[in-house]
Structure 1
Amino acid sequence: MAKQSSSLSEPQVADSERVAQSDSEFQDDLSYRHVNLESEDEEDFDAFVQKYGAVKVQYIKKPKVRSWFINKPYALNFFYNGTLYRTRSERGESGKVELFLDLLYVGIVAKLAASATHEPTGTSLLKYVLFFAPIWQVWSDIKDFMNYYFNEDLLQKIYILWILALLLVYTNGTNYMLESNKANATVVVPYILCRLSLGISLLVYSVYVPQHRHQNILYGSLIIVTCCLWIPVIFVSVRAKVGLSFMNLFLENASWCVSYHPYTKKLLKLKYSTAINIEHEVERFGAFYVIAIGEFLYNIVATTAERNFGVGVTEKIGRAIILLLIAYCLLWLYFNGDGSKRAVHACRRSGNTAFLWFFLHMPLISSLILCADAAADLCYEDEIENIGLSYYFTGALCVSLFCLYGLAILDKSIDDETGGEGRNCSRHYLPKFWRLLPRLPVGVIIVCLSVAKLEITKLFGTTMALLVALLAYEIAMSMDSSW
């Protein structure tokens, strides 16, 4: 889940004061000479940016597309002496390409989940996790590569197609993993090439983007080193493959943390450092979450179309409706967050909370898709023939609720503050901790439903009732108590 170009947090400030710095002074430092500071209509956009937490900000103009073939890379966001410099214009064609990427990725992950639910065992679950993690890693790489650099040209489009072609080879190779070293290579080598492509791109971009130069050189070099560590996975025994894979995934994520953590910036005494566009991150992860939730809806429709559910509102149609309500509750639990009207986003609160916010999305998305696939298989059965499917459904829901709790708790609510910026904020019936805490026991209770070996309809119905009650509780306790 590594993110390139994502130095994550800078110290907060009391307001949105802009730096009184002339163009000439800024341009003379590190040759960032093509910047144009915008001044018109900044007040409305400030309110949009500042809603994630106060930060000093200056705006820069994104350059025009000079050529359809090749354009010079350009940093859309960066910190300079504690001030965030960023663009505020539309991302052009990247939004359409991002949706295309997300649809393809969810399709790939759904295929992996279907393979796991076909034989729901602990071994299948382990394979699902090990195959999913590299897919998520590459998705994160592409997301940041497109989001944080201006380069809307033919070369970027070819790069995206190259990565997608490699992923298709990777996904097909998962069907034959462990059959031979050649079969192992069809999984490992495409992933290595995806990562190497990113590492080389970062090193090339470091030449043209001085604002990200030091951190990109560090991360690009670490990517090349970790790629070499994947080669032995092709040849060693199964147990060694598992151990090496987990080690390499850990090192890849650790290398990203080391490269873009604010502490590294301080250690290297960098005047320039990478920055993220928080509202874009929220939008991208939110869109991916919605598509993952869509797996529930797709599987409901596909199951009712392929299986004989009978005429009228039958029991199995009722199960499909229950799954629809479960998906709807999960949708609202994510976007409702902690129920605060105003909060400092995790990505702006501190470097550590920012990294945790990114990392928690990986188990959240993977568990949701596995849950949706297991639910679809359970929906048309007359009774639970394999208890593993039930545990996949309830266990994945439990993991999802734990991740949703973690994501919501990472934001810092300022609704209940008095004076200063919080003087007009609402007060809730319960503090944030008590509003969110029930997500954890509800997740545990849902897993216990599988232990109780409930009949399928009762399993779905009880799960739905718990989630509806949880959502209603959070909405009620988040209301303004002064009303």
Structure 2
Amino acid sequence: MSAPTGIGTGDLRSNPRYLFRQPRALQWFDNGRLVKRHDCERAAGRFELFLDLLYVAILSNFADSLVEDISGAKLVKYILILAPSWHVWSDLRELMNSFYNDDLLQRILILWVMAVLVVYGNNAPLVDKDIGAMRATVGAYMVARLTCNLAQLLYSFSSYQHRRQQRLWVGLSTLFMCLFIPLYLESISIPAKIAVAAVGVCVEEATWIFSFSPAAKKLLHSRYSTAVDINHEMDRFAAFYIIVLGEFLFFIIVGSPAAIGFNERTIRAIWTLVIAFCLNWLYVHADGSIEHDHPLRHSVYSAFLFVLIHLPLVAGLLAGGHVAAVSVAEKGFEDPERWLLCGGLGTGMICLYGFALLHGSKDERGTLIMDKPLRLIMRPITGVITVLIPLAHDLNATKVLSIIMALFVFCVLWETYGSLMKDACFFEHWTDTKYPERVIAEGPSDKEERSTP
């Protein structure tokens, strides 16, 4: 594949000359050659970040509803209401990645979808208790997805580069959304509705993969095909990951659960903070290589896996982080909380192992102190041990969090040390610490100044 080609240096910000701008594809493939409309590096827009603020509340509400009454059925419900909200976020992420122009239409689109998500976020935790909540949840979800589909369809008329795949996605996505219609019926039992929702979520994932896969490109015989702005994609996924880690931190402060002074609750709060910090460290650290290809650049298959792995990663850490945070104020620590905490964090760590494996290392063997397989081995080991901790029934919340914190810190130290070059030193010598000699530029002489008119 040849190097990206930039055409023009247009500004991606809103243009004061137009309230509604023509949606233009920002990047695409032309017979396998990546073409970019702008040479500038993209970051998340301010209104995209505003959307993320709503997800802070939505995710917290979902996790809180799970922790209130932990059971297998509640865990299934948690996954089935979290996945659709993730799909709506992904729809907007992809739309803004390909056609971001920050005009009035896009801002109204974000506001409208957020308003619909308010309905979804309030009703989703109650779907198993009230048919009205079920209908409001499914209706809000379908409206949000159909709104994004209509935007994709509209944009397909204004820009030809993504047209065929956009219309394929819109057609299949809208068609398979009919799978959720049985959820409106009161006569259908809850177990049957769980099966319907699970099938619907899986079909939507498969539809997305197919619509933007190489197989679809061949089927459509299109010269032009979709491409993503990788920097923007990385930025958006990292932002959502930070939202999830925020669940670890919110409840260790709000309501002052660790007051007064320094006590055992304070220790649990600090350990929760350290665990979240380690998880952020490992995500940023990736596979620890000096040079690597990000999964979105490595291959189309690693790109799909990178996107898909974020859903179980988010689900696990959100649930585990919420239990860790609320345990600061709790006196009791029963088996359900213990299993959810350890299972969620362990699943998250195993997903972070898969996340790191997807990065294509370019380092030659022996460049770093540890080669990649050995360097990353502590992630799955830590994940498995964390999942099995609840088998020790006599451990209270403080002991469980202490063990998890120690495991996560050791994993971070192991990878950080293993990612050093073989000739690395612990401390760099400090140089250039003194002020440089002051150089005074010679000005014109007094005689010259007096002779100047």
TM-score (norm 2): 0.88
- Measured after TM superposition, the shift of residue 310 of structure 1 is 4.7
- Measured after TM superposition, the shift of residue 205 of structure 1 is 1.3
Distance 1:324-1:61 versus aligned 2 partners, 3 A rule: same
Q: What is aligned with 2:239? A: 287
In 1, Cα distance between equivalents of 2:206 and 2:377: 29
Q: What is aligned with 1:5? A: none
- The answer to whether residue 44 in structure 2 is matched with residue 98 in structure 1 is no
Q: What is aligned with 2:417? A: 476
Of 417, 434, 441, which residue of structure 1 is paired with 2:374? 434
Structure showing greater Rg: 2
Contact 1:57 1:85 in 2 (8 A): yes
Aligned amino acid, residue 452 of structure 1:
A
- Measured after TM superposition, the shift of residue 221 of structure 1 is 0.3
In 1, Cα distance between equivalents of 2:85 and 2:32: 34
In 2, Cα distance between equivalents of 1:155 and 1:300: 39
Q: What is aligned with 2:449? A: none
Contact 2:296 2:303 in 1 (8 A): yes
Q: How does 1:266-305 map to 2 (within 5 A)?
A: 266-303=218-255, 305=256
In 2, Cα distance between equivalents of 1:175 and 1:440: 32
In 2, Cα distance between equivalents of 1:359 and 1:89: 28
- Measured after TM superposition, the shift of residue 183 of structure 1 is 2.9
- The answer to whether residue 137 in structure 2 is matched with residue 190 in structure 1 is no
Contact 1:295 1:369 in 2 (8 A): yes
Q: What is aligned with 1:89? A: 40
Instruction: Classify the secondary structure of the residue corresponding to 2:45.
Output: helix
Distance 1:104-1:342 versus aligned 2 partners, 3 A rule: same
- Measured after TM superposition, the shift of residue 312 of structure 1 is 2.1
Q: What is aligned with 1:24? A: none
Of 111, 115, 131, which residue of structure 2 is paired with 1:161? 111
Of 213, 216, 220, which residue of structure 2 is paired with 1:261? 213
In 1, Cα distance between equivalents of 2:17 and 2:218: 38
| Superimposed CA distance per residue, residues 183-224 of structure 1 (whole angstroms, 9 cap, x where no aligned partner) | 321010110111111222222211111000110010010111
- The answer to whether residue 7 in structure 2 is matched with residue 60 in structure 1 is yes
Q: What is aligned with 2:178? A: 228
Higher mean C-alpha displacement, 117-126 vs 404-413: 117-126
In 1, Cα distance between equivalents of 2:254 and 2:387: 26
- Measured after TM superposition, the shift of residue 170 of structure 1 is 1.1
Instruction: Classify the secondary structure of the residue corresponding to 2:289.
Output: coil
| Superimposed CA distance per residue, residues 37-89 of structure 1 (whole angstroms, 9 cap, x where no aligned partner) | xxxxxxxxxxxxxxxxxx52101236453644211110011011222111233
Aligned amino acid, residue 409 of structure 2:
V
- Measured after TM superposition, the shift of residue 175 of structure 1 is 4.2
Higher mean C-alpha displacement, 155-164 vs 429-438: 429-438
Instruction: Classify the secondary structure of the residue corresponding to 2:5.
Output: strand
Contact 1:202 1:216 in 2 (8 A): yes
In 1, Cα distance between equivalents of 2:163 and 2:313: 32
Contact 1:319 1:460 in 2 (8 A): yes
Q: What is aligned with 1:242? A: 194
Say which structure, 1 or 2, has more relative contact order (CA 8 Å, 6+ apart).
Answer: 1
In 1, Cα distance between equivalents of 2:163 and 2:330: 56
In 1, Cα distance between equivalents of 2:389 and 2:30: 53
Of 267, 272, 277, which residue of structure 2 is paired with 1:318? 267
Q: What is aligned with 1:460? A: 401
Of 73, 82, 87, which residue of structure 2 is paired with 1:132? 82
Instruction: Classify the secondary structure of the residue corresponding to 2:225.
Output: strand
| Superimposed CA distance per residue, residues 240-281 of structure 1 (whole angstroms, 9 cap, x where no aligned partner) | 111111111111111111111123213333211110111111
Q: How does 1:9-28 map to 2 (within 5 A)?
A: 13=1
Q: What is aligned with 1:396? A: 344
| Superimposed CA distance per residue, residues 16-52 of structure 1 (whole angstroms, 9 cap, x where no aligned partner) | xxxxxxxxxxxxxxxxxxxxxxxxxxxxxxxxxxxxx
Q: What is aligned with 2:388? A: 448
Distance 1:442-1:225 versus aligned 2 partners, 3 A rule: same
In 1, Cα distance between equivalents of 2:110 and 2:91: 11
Instruction: Classify the secondary structure of the residue corresponding to 1:125.
Output: helix
- Measured after TM superposition, the shift of residue 151 of structure 1 is 3.3
Q: What is aligned with 1:355? A: 304
Of 310, 316, 330, which residue of structure 1 is paired with 2:279? 330
Instruction: Classify the secondary structure of the residue corresponding to 1:130.
Output: helix
Q: What is aligned with 1:51? A: none
In 2, Cα distance between equivalents of 1:262 and 1:373: 39
Aligned amino acid, residue 5 of structure 2:
Q
- Measured after TM superposition, the shift of residue 233 of structure 1 is 1.7
Contact 2:321 2:345 in 1 (8 A): no
Aligned amino acid, residue 59 of structure 1:
G
Distance 1:276-1:310 versus aligned 2 partners, 3 A rule: closer
- The answer to whether residue 284 in structure 2 is matched with residue 344 in structure 1 is no
In 1, Cα distance between equivalents of 2:259 and 2:306: 44
Question: Which 5+ residue runs of structure 2 have no aligned equivalent?
Answer: 425-453
Equivalenced residues, count = 417
| Superimposed CA distance per residue, residues 123-156 of structure 1 (whole angstroms, 9 cap, x where no aligned partner) | 2111111110011000011111122103322111
- The answer to whether residue 156 in structure 2 is matched with residue 215 in structure 1 is no
- Measured after TM superposition, the shift of residue 429 of structure 1 is 2.1
Higher mean C-alpha displacement, 142-151 vs 173-182: 173-182
Q: What is aligned with 2:313? A: 364
- The answer to whether residue 146 in structure 2 is matched with residue 206 in structure 1 is no
In 2, Cα distance between equivalents of 1:469 and 1:370: 23
Q: What is aligned with 2:445? A: none
- Measured after TM superposition, the shift of residue 178 of structure 1 is 3.7
Instruction: Classify the secondary structure of the residue corresponding to 2:327.
Output: helix
Aligned amino acid, residue 239 of structure 1:
P
In 2, Cα distance between equivalents of 1:176 and 1:411: 39
Question: Which 5+ residue runs of structure 1 have no aligned equivalent?
Answer: 1-12, 14-54, 418-425
**RMSD, aligned α-carbons:** 1.8
Instruction: Classify the secondary structure of the residue corresponding to 1:445.
Output: helix
